């Protein structure tokens, strides 16, 4: 696991030594992603930098940037190729010899022999990399299928710059610094900025499953080599012909392979354990493979209704892991906020990033690699909102449209009158939706109408507005999964885990997000995915083989923090200072009167606006931390 940075100057407007100093500054800003080693490679047009967190092959043979044996290609790479051993066997059969045993070298020599497209098709892993072709003078940027590892880039005037984090790009004076107000609207809805946009105009994120090839012009050739929409279409068109037992066994086998591959490490490893289905299953499979107790880590809370620490402890005791727990109270959360915001790169309002950072910090005291259960809800339809959306649509679809609109308006109006106002406003908005996708969009949105709060911005259309998705993916549950995998999973969940874990130089691995597991899951008969309105049925069946169901069979809580309570209590003064009216008016990003109305509503006891307010609070905290005005 590493951090990468680089520049290409086809215009020759920058002196080579100045280019090297600039890349070195970017690379130094990524030291938390790679504290073990660093390197710079340069020629007359390109400079690549790298920070290394050594996981596989701790020797100097794993040093980067790495030049291929033929001398044509130079690679700066961040990530892990989990099937690198089998790829190495194929390469040896083709006559390739290796200097070491790092997956970096295997990836590079595979590209040199087979070409990038074949390698991307074969590689199972999480990665982002930059590949300089010295013969063709082209720079290729590529990213893994699900978007585990980040890569930002900006290009203008015949000059390209890229890095694992936007904060590294900001070490360059030429990096644009104007906040993109359209992206701000997206942020208010999603609580993060969806790729390929970033919060800054002219700075882009490489999308998952994509590679970009840059030449001397500022235009890049894009190729999408994997996307979940196509995977879902193929799964619906050619579903697996299997009964329940065979389907569960197939998932168990695929997950077993994914876990075993992710336990390959030359440094200590453990796992996050919340006590839920996904993390408990991963830990159970790890412990089955391990001769020693697996190190497990969890966060617990003081607030009743949020604490899952006791469940994690019971699973740990049953499986025989070496368990470590950290109690999260508001004081500890406040103390960590500056660090969390500092490593967020962009405004990021998933409040569980605080807990994720602290559990990563706890894990790093004992291990360098931690496996997680990320992806179970998206890939195996575990969110309760899937069944809720379907049930709600089935009820209101029979209502006449002419009746639904005035009822929705009435309920939204009454929502400000107190009492059951939160639920009235919620259902009023839902009743007014014309499609099930509209209902689902409502459940995903922190702000239902971002442009009412954001000044001078227009919200770009994204997948949640794409009416053609219904044609390609006619099954509603699968459609919701596609929306989540292509958006929420990548832009929120995986971003959160990457930034939190990398802040403490911890590598996080997600077996459920092995692309082979994902492709299998979308081929399962839809009836197997959910039973009795509850998702993740195959995962429940597999976990039941290892852990008694009473340890995990309970309503899902999610890995979050009680931000609504905190904004009325221990974080109230801190948040109030950030969104004070004069400050908001002077900055000009938000409607100060609208924001004050929502803040007062929350302080009066409404819980409806907690997540919405948190997006504004975290945007303002980000502006303070990174010096944006």
Q: Which range among 23-27, 57-61, 110-114, 590-594 shows the weakest confidence by mean pLDDT?
A: 57-61
Q: What is the pLDDT of residues 186-221, one digit of tens each?
A: 999 999 999 999 999 999 999 999 999 999 877 789
Q: Which range among 22-26, 128-132, 242-246, 429-433 shows the weakest confidence by mean pLDDT?
A: 429-433
Whether 366 and 268 have beta carbons less than 8 Å apart is answered as yes
Question: How confident is the model at residue 375, as a pLDDT?
Answer: 97
Question: How confident is the model at residue 331, as a pLDDT?
Answer: 83
Residues 250-266 have a mean pLDDT of 96
Q: Which range among 152-161, 560-569, 578-587 shows the weakest confidence by mean pLDDT?
A: 560-569
Would you say residue 419 has pLDDT above 50?
no
Q: What is the pLDDT of residues 460-473, one digit of tens each?
A: 999 999 999 999 99
| Residue 423 CA neighbour count, 13 Å, CB half | 2
Question: How confident is the model at residue 416, as a pLDDT?
Answer: 46
Q: What is the pLDDT of residues 347-390, one digit of tens each?
A: 999 999 999 999 999 999 999 999 999 999 999 999 999 999 99
Would you say residue 542 has pLDDT above 90?
yes
The partner residues of 439 in beta bridges, in order of sequence, read none
Find all residues with CB under 8 Å of 397, minimum gap 6, and list them: none
3-class SS of residue 508: strand
Residues 521-550 have a mean pLDDT of 92
- pLDDT band for 328, please (50, 70, 90 cuts): confident
Residues 409-415 have a mean pLDDT of 61
Q: What is the pLDDT of residues 568-602, one digit of tens each?
A: 998 999 999 999 999 999 999 999 999 999 999 99
Question: How confident is the model at residue 178, as a pLDDT?
Answer: 95
Would you say residue 153 has pLDDT above 50?
yes
> Using CB atoms within 10 A of its CB, is residue 121 exposed (0-12), middle (13-18) or buried (19+)?
exposed
The partner residues of 142 in beta bridges, in order of sequence, read 129, 211
Question: How confident is the model at residue 418, as a pLDDT?
Answer: 41
Question: How confident is the model at residue 624, as a pLDDT?
Answer: 93
Count CB-CB contacts under 10 A for residue 497: 24
Where do we find the tokens 């590689």?
A: 123
Whether 497 and 357 have beta carbons less than 8 Å apart is answered as no
Would you say residue 417 has pLDDT above 50?
no
Q: What is the pLDDT of residues 91-147, one digit of tens each?
A: 999 999 999 889 999 999 999 999 999 999 999 999 999 999 999 999 999 999 999
The DSSP line for 597-622 is HHHHHHHTT--TTHHHHHHHHHHHHH
Whether 251 and 520 have beta carbons less than 8 Å apart is answered as yes
Query: How distant, in Å, are the alpha carbons of 267, 389, 499 from that of 150?
Result: 23, 31, 9
Residues 7-12 have a mean pLDDT of 93
Residue 12, Cα to own-chain centre: how many angstroms? 36
Query: How distant, in Å, are the alpha carbons of 71, 313, 330, 571 from that of 170?
Result: 31, 43, 32, 30
Please give the mean pLDDT across all residues of the chain.
92
* Torsion, Cα of 354, 357, 361, 363 (10° steps): 110
Would you say residue 420 has pLDDT above 80?
no
Tokens of 251: 């998932």
3-class SS of residue 225: coil
| CA–CA dist 443, 385 (Å, integer) | 7
Residues 324-340 have a mean pLDDT of 88
Residues 67-86 have a mean pLDDT of 96
- pLDDT band for 433, please (50, 70, 90 cuts): confident
Q: Is 2 known to be catalytic?
A: yes
Q: What is the pLDDT of residues 496-534, one digit of tens each?
A: 999 999 999 999 999 999 999 999 999 999 999 988 878
The partner residues of 224 in beta bridges, in order of sequence, read 210
Would you say residue 57 has pLDDT above 90?
no
């Amino acid at each position: 696991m590493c951090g990468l940075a680089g520049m290409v100057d086809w215009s020759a407007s920058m002196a080579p030594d100045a280019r090297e100093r600039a890349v070195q500054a970017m690379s130094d800003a990524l030291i938390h992603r790679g504290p073990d080693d660093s390197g710079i490679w340069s020629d007359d047009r390109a400079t690549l930098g790298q920070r290394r967190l050594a996981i596989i092959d701790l020797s100097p043979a794993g040093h980067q940037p790495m030049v291929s044996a033929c001398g044509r290609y130079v690679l700066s790479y961040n990530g892990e190729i989990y099937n690198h051993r089998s790829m190495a066997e194929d390469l040896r059969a083709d006559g390739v010899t290796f200097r070491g045993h790092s997956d970096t070298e295997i990836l590079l020599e595979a590209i040199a022999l087979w070409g990038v497209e074949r390698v991307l098709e074969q590689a199972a892993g999480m990665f982002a990399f930059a590949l300089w072709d010295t013969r063709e003078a082209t720079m290729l940027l590529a990213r893994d299928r699900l978007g585990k590892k980040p890569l930002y880039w900006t290009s203008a005037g015949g000059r390209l710059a890229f890095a694992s984090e936007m904060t590294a790009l900001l070490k360059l004076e030429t990096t644009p610094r104007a906040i993109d107000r359209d992206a701000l609207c997206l942020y208010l809805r999603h609580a993060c900025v969806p790729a390929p946009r970033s919060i800054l105009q002219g700075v882009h994120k490489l999308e998952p499953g994509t590679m970009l090839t840059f030449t001397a012009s500022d235009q890049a050739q894009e190729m999408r080599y994997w996307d979940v929409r196509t995977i879902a279409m193929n799964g619906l068109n050619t579903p697996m012909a299997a009964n329940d037992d065979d389907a569960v066994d197939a998932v168990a086998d695929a997950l077993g392979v994914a876990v075993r591959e992710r336990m390959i490490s030359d440094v200590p490893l453990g796992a996050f354990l919340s006590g839920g289905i996904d993390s408990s299953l991963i830990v159970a499979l790890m412990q089955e493979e391990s001769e020693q107790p697996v190190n497990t880590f969890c966060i617990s809370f003081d607030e009743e209704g949020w604490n899952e620490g006791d469940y994690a402890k019971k699973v740990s005791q049953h499986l025989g892991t070496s368990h470590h727990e950290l109690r999260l109270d508001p004081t500890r959360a406040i103390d960590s906020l500056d660090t969390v915001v500092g490593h967020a790169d962009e405004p990021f309002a998933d409040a569980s990033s605080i807990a994720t950072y602290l559990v990563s910090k706890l894990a790093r005291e004992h291990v360098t690699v931690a496996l997680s259960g990320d992806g179970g809800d998206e890939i195996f339809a575990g969110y309760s909102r899937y069944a809720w959306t379907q049930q709600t649509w089935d009820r209101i679809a029979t209502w006449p449209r002419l009746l639904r609109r005035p009822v929705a308006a009435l309920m939204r109006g009454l929502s400000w009158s107190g009492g059951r106002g939160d639920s009235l406003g919620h259902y009023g908005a839902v009743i007014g939706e014309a499609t099930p996708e509209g209902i689902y969009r409502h459940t995903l949105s922190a702000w239902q109408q971002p442009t009412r709060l954001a000044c001078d911005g227009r919200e770009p259309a994204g997948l949640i507005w794409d009416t053609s998705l219904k044609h390609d993916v006619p099954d509603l549950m699968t459609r919701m999964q596609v929306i989540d995998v292509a958006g929420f999973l990548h832009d929120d969940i995986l971003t959160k885990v990457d930034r939190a874990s990398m802040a403490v130089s911890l590598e996080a691995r997600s077996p459920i997000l092995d692309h082979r597991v994902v492709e299998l899951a979308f081929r399962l008969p839809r009836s197997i995915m959910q039973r009795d309105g509850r998702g993740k049925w195959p995962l429940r069946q597999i976990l039941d083989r290892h852990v008694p169901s009473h340890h995990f069979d309970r309503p899902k809580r999610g890995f979050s923090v009680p931000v609504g309570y905190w904004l009325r209590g221990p974080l109230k003064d801190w948040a109030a200072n950030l969104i004070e009216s004069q400050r908001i008016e002077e900055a000009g990003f938000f409607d100060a009167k609208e924001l004050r109305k929502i803040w007062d509503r929350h302080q009066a006891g409404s819980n409806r606006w907690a997540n919405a307010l948190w997006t504004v609070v975290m945007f303002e905290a980000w502006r303070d931390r990174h010096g944006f005005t």
